[in-house]
């Protein structure tokens, strides 16, 4: 392992050649136009990554990888064809263009198939760390050791798995409508899963996650301390009686219970296909009046930020929900055409697939109180560190087990709990949000506070 510690993100895989993505895109667009195709879009993506992994408290062999791929969309007589490859040989790319054209010829026409016209693009600040290319595996190994030093302050704690990674993403796009651009982003992640054991007593697994566009902004030692303290706090968990009360969702548990259903509900394709519960809800109340949700692809330092979306359009800043009222849906060019409007820059995906719909930086606005102050207001309820279960995004019904939960009575943490389930309908429960914390955490491209909900069904073991 020590022999690899000087490998950096700037060093290529010895079996792969690095390409100029924008030149590839423009060349293939020109080839498509010469072949008489109506419209062509070429998307290039490159991902360089380094990772150090810990398993069962032991450092594993570091990993490095580089992926490069191209996706081509071809439009002909109202039909669309798509093909992709990671073989960037010139002859292979020409064959890929021909393959996409054949797919278009054999696909049904749809008057909503189209490419967008170009719009002004602006670079988003603070999404690329200038030292990213020089990050070494040794830097990540040092981070892993710093994390493990904190974990090992208590020998009852075992890290099941942890990853410390550095990545650079380079994207480029060109279309026959005149869109030509490229962009770069770096991001660094720490994610870990651990448990504690004391004799025959074993805690719940718990997680800790950090992400940033800048290497020095991650505090892995703090992450180790938090994870250690969380799993130790869940030792000696007890069953409790069933009751209806309040639950305080941590940002991590809010991802599955709240964010994923909201993202599903505001996806314009789901609206148009009649499966979103928020069909015909624009301008109407969908949550408590303290709930405001933004999606901002222009956020400086945001891991979901970028100059353009999957179709080469600016991502913009959207107010999705304001004071509980639904304001805006997520559109790409196809769904926007179906709705008789323009895309708002929410085309998602990469080179391996045609554009879908995805958020950029999904943000739930915070409140005025700390999470501890919210706990102090709970008469009887649960702190939900993690949620393990199902959430039906169509109906909103959910039922699952609380992991790393704590019983709260009269504003105090009483004891850790086990075999406790929560259930209900998340779309209805959004009307019952009574508190949002001032502090927020970044979980992937989500920036989330602690969320306090009232009148929840809590089933004891």
- Mapping DSSP to helix (H, G, I), strand (E, B) and coil, where does residue 436 land? strand
Instruction: Tell me: pLDDT of 428 over 90.
Output: yes
Please report, for residues 409, 443, 451, the alpha-carbon distance to residue 252 in angstroms, rounded to integers and kept in the order given: 22, 7, 11
Least confident residue range of 57-71, 305-319, 334-348, 368-382: 57-71
Q: Band the pLDDT of 12: cuts 50, 70, 90.
A: very low
Closest CA to 270 of 261, 282, 279: 279
Residues 224 and 242 in one domain: no
Domain boundary among 171, 202, 230: 230
Note whether 103 and 247 are same-domain residues. Answer: no
Neighbour-count burial for 251-287, b at 16+ CB within 10 Å, e otherwise:
bbbbbbbbbbbbbbbbbbbbbbeeebbbeebeeeebb
At 98-130, the pLDDT tens digits run: 999 999 999 999 999 999 999 999 999 999 999
Question: Buried b vs exposed e over 415-437: b needs ≥16 C-beta within 10 Å?
Answer: ebbbebbbebebbebbeebbbbb
Report whether pLDDT(460) > 80: yes
| pLDDT interval class at 19 (50, 70, 90) | low
Same domain, yes or no, for 209 and 253?
Answer: no
In this prediction, residue 106 carries a pLDDT of 95
- Put residue 232 in one of left, alpha, beta given phi > 0 → left and psi -120 to 50 → alpha: alpha
User: Do 219 and 249 belong to one domain?
Assistant: no
**Residue 407 pLDDT greater than 60, yes or no:** yes
Same domain as 194, residue 72: yes
Distance, CA of 366 to CA of 436 (rounded, Å): 5
Are residues 411 and 344 part of one domain? yes
Domain end marker among 190, 214, 230: 230
- The runs of H, that is alpha helices, within 64-109 are 90-105
Radius of gyration of the chain (CA): 24
pLDDT tier for residue 11 given thresholds of 50, 70 and 90:
low
Closest CA to 312 of 19, 460, 116: 116
Residues 392 and 303 in one domain: yes
Sole residue written with tokens 């296909």: 273
Please give the pLDDT value at position 61.
Answer: 87
- pLDDT bracket for residue 245 (50, 70, 90): very high
| pLDDT value at residue 18 | 60
Kindly state whether residues 348 and 440 are assigned to the same domain. Answer: yes
pLDDT mean across residues, the chain:
95
Is the confidence at residue 5, as pLDDT, over 70? no
Average pLDDT over residues 89-97: 95
The range of the structural domain enclosing residue 303 comes to 238-461
What's the mean pLDDT in 307-314? Answer: 98
Q: Are 448 and 364 in contact (CB under 8 A)?
A: yes
Q: What is the CATH number of the domain that holds 153?
A: 3.30.2290.10
Query: CA 110, CA 209: separation in Å to the nearest integer?
Result: 43
Task: Output the DSSP codes for 377-416.
Answer: T-SEEEEESEEEEEE-TTT-EEEEEEES-EEEETTEEEEE
* Residue finishing a domain among 207, 230, 253: 230
Q: The whole model's pTM is what?
A: 0.94
Report percent pLDDT > 70 for the chain.
96
Based on the domain organization, do 216 and 273 belong to the same domain? no
171-190 confidence digits (pLDDT tens)? 999 999 999 999 999 999 99
Number of domains forming the structure of the chain: 2
Tell me what pLDDT residue 92 has.
95
Both 221 and 322 in a single domain?
no
* Contact (CB, 8 A) for 178 and 216: no
Tokens 């020409």 locate to 94
Same domain membership, residue 30 and residue 144 = yes
Read off the pLDDT of each residue in 390-405 and give the average, rounded to a whole number.
Answer: 96
Tell me how far the alpha carbon of residue 348 is from its chain's centroid: 11
Q: What is the pLDDT of residues 131-172, one digit of tens each?
A: 999 999 999 999 999 999 999 999 999 999 999 999 999 999
The pLDDT of residue 14 is: 41
100 shares its domain with 248: no
pLDDT more than 90, % of the chain: 93
């Amino acid at each position: 392992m020590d022999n690899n510690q000087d490998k950096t993100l700037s060093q290529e895989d010895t079996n792969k050649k690095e390409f100029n993505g924008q030149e590839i895109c423009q060349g293939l667009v020109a080839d498509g136009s010469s072949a008489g195709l109506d419209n062509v879009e070429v998307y290039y993506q490159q991902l360089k990554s380094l990772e150090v992994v810990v398993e069962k408290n032991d450092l594993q062999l570091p990993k490095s990888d580089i992926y490069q791929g191209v996706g081509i969309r071809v439009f002909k007589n109202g039909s669309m064809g798509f093909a992709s490859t990671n073989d960037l040989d010139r002859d292979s790319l020409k064959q890929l263009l021909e393959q996409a054209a054949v797919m278009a010829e054999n696909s049904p026409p749809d008057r909503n198939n189209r490419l967008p016209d170009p719009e002004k693009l602006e670079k988003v600040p603070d999404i690329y760390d200038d030292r990213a290319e020089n990050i070494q595996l040794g830097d990540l190994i040092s981070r892993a050791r710093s994390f493990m030093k904190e974990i090992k302050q208590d020998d009852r704690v075992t890290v099941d798995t942890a990853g410390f990674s550095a990545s650079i993403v380079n994207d480029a796009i060109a279309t026959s409508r005149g869109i030509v651009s490229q962009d770069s982003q770096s991001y660094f992640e720490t994610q870990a899963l651990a448990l504690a054991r004391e004799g025959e007593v074993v805690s719940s697994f718990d997680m800790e996650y950090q992400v940033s566009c800048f290497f020095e902004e991650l505090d892995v030692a703090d992450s180790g301390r938090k994870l250690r303290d969380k799993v130790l706090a869940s030792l000696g968990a007890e069953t409790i009686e069933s009751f209806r009360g309040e639950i305080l969702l941590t940002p991590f548990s809010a991802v599955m219970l709240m964010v994923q259903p909201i993202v599903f509900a505001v996806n314009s394709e789901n609206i148009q296909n009649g499966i979103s519960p928020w069909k015909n809800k624009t301008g109407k109340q969908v949550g408590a009046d303290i709930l405001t949700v933004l999606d901002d692809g222009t956020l400086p330092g945001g891991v979901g930020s970028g100059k353009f979306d999957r179709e080469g359009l600016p991502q913009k800043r959207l107010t999705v929900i304001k004071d509980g009222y639904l304001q805006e849906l997520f559109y790409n060019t196809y769904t926007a055409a179906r709705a008789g409007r323009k895309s708002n820059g929410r085309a998602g995906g990469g080179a391996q697939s045609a554009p879908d719909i995805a958020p950029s930086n999904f943000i739930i606005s915070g409140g005025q109180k700390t999470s501890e102050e919210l706990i102090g207001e709970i008469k009887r309820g649960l702190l939900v560190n993690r949620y393990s279960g199902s959430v039906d995004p169509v109906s909103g019904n959910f039922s699952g087990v609380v992991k790393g939960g704590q019983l709260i009575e009269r504003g105090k943490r009483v004891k850790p709990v086990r075999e406790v389930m929560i259930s209900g309908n998340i779309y209805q429960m959004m009307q019952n949000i009574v508190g949002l914390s001032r502090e927020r955490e970044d979980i992937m491209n989500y920036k989330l506070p602690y969320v306090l909900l009232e009148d929840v069904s809590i089933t004891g073991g």
